[in-house]
Amino acid sequence: MSTLPRVLSAVGSGAFTPESEAHLARELAAHGELIATIDSFDTDEARAALKVAEVLVTGWRTPLIDAAVLDAAPNLTRILHIAGSVKEQFTPEIWERGIEVSSAVDANAVPVAEFTLAAILMANKRVVQIARDYREQRRLIDQAGLGVVGSYRRRVGVVGASRIGRRVVELLRPFDLEVVLFDPTLSSAEVEAIGAHSVTLEELCATSDVVTVHAPSLPATRGMISAALIDSMPAGSALINTSRGDVIDQEALTARVLRGDLYAYLDVTVPWSLPADHPLYDHPNAFLTPHIAGSVGTEVDRMIDQQIAELDRIARGEALAHPVRYESLVTAA
């Protein structure tokens, strides 16, 4: 017989849509003993709840969880994060004190991979650019004059065999596309087992019709898609980035796009929101989105449901299905 754990929700007001907030509140109350829902750890209500909480539920707007917060939570044994990365809000003290952490990173990888698949297919057909031309000209175009477009026998280069990178490769299997992958941590045999062909980063950029980036932001990966690699990309090819903006030399990418022979599909930039006068906003070869590849709207409910399942495991005395190991943060996004 399971005992419902005492739960404190610190996801933060406004982090989710009202519908997802209501869904989370219902599920937490049904699968745990919900003590309180807070936005800050500094209130009397928060301090009282921290004293008895066994499980802390967090999200994008949760304040930093440092030693002071942990000192106020003597009974805390698990933290369930309804988001992907924990790097910005979780401190090493959490793992040092033996508190187990679960993240919805696997659930969040699903919409990012789906978004990437859509971007690859749209890039191969130059949908954004052709639609813009059609809107301006308001007449049928000469399809014979489109040049090399389409998703038949084109090469897609995937940078990074992360959760998202692997899922992108999986989603590309039904298509008549050649998929190549660069990941320095994998052997050629391991890449082949994923469903791609292993190549160097230089070959990937120089020969792919579409390059999609799924590498984490680490000291070793910042600027890894360098000016030289960007310059080597074939005329008419496309670069997709749904990982982190600093993985790409953004100035070099901007310069190449402004030349008019490269297409960019960017869901992430540096900074997160480019200055209002940045040339990529208006350039016909650039397609910018405000970091929406990850879970938004109803997709957030997938992350909630995954972490509610973790709460059920805790109640049954089972191990977490999606644990975050401290040592994994070295290579995580």
- The CATH code of the domain that includes 57 is 3.40.50.720
Distance CA 77, CA 99 (A): 5
Same domain, residue pair 213 and 69: no
**113 within some domain:** yes
Same domain, residue pair 98 and 152: no
Same domain, residue pair 98 and 84: yes
Q: Are 182 and 157 in contact (CB under 8 A)?
A: yes
Total of domains in the chain = 2
**1 within some domain:** no
pLDDT in tens, 235-256: 999 999 999 999 999 999 999 9
Residues contacting residue 230 through CB under 8 Å, at least 6 positions apart: 205, 239, 248, 249, 252, 253, 256, 262
Amino acid identity for residue 7 in this structure: V
Check residues 273 and 146 and name the one with the higher pLDDT.
Answer: 273
Count the neighbouring beta carbons within 10 Å of the beta carbon of residue 240. Answer: 28
Same domain, residue pair 142 and 248: yes
pLDDT score at 233: 98
Specify the pTM: 0.95
**195 within some domain:** yes
At residue 333 the predicted structure's pLDDT band, cuts being 50, 70 and 90, is low
Same domain, residue pair 81 and 218: no
Same domain, residue pair 284 and 305: no
Distance CA 33, CA 96 (A): 26
**240 within some domain:** yes
At residue 1 the predicted structure's pLDDT band, cuts being 50, 70 and 90, is very low
Question: Which of 101-110, 146-155, 294-303 has the lowest average pLDDT?
Answer: 146-155
Same domain, residue pair 129 and 258: yes
| Cβ-defined contacts of 281-289 (< 8 Å, 24+) | 283/257, 283/258, 284/129, 284/132, 285/129, 285/257, 285/260, 286/257, 287/119, 287/128, 287/263
Q: Which residue has the tokens 């992108």?
A: 168
Same domain, residue pair 27 and 169: no
Same domain, residue pair 190 and 152: yes
pLDDT at 173 over 60: yes
Distance CA 228, CA 305 (A): 44
End-to-end Cα separation, the chain, in angstroms = 38
pLDDT score at 82: 98
Token code pair at residue 103:
């993240």
Same domain, residue pair 272 and 152: yes
Question: Which of 46-55, 131-140, 187-196, 274-283 has the lowest average pLDDT?
Answer: 131-140
Range of the domain at 225: 108-288
Residue 138: DSSP 8-state:
-
Same domain, residue pair 166 and 139: yes
**174 within some domain:** yes
Same domain, residue pair 279 and 314: no
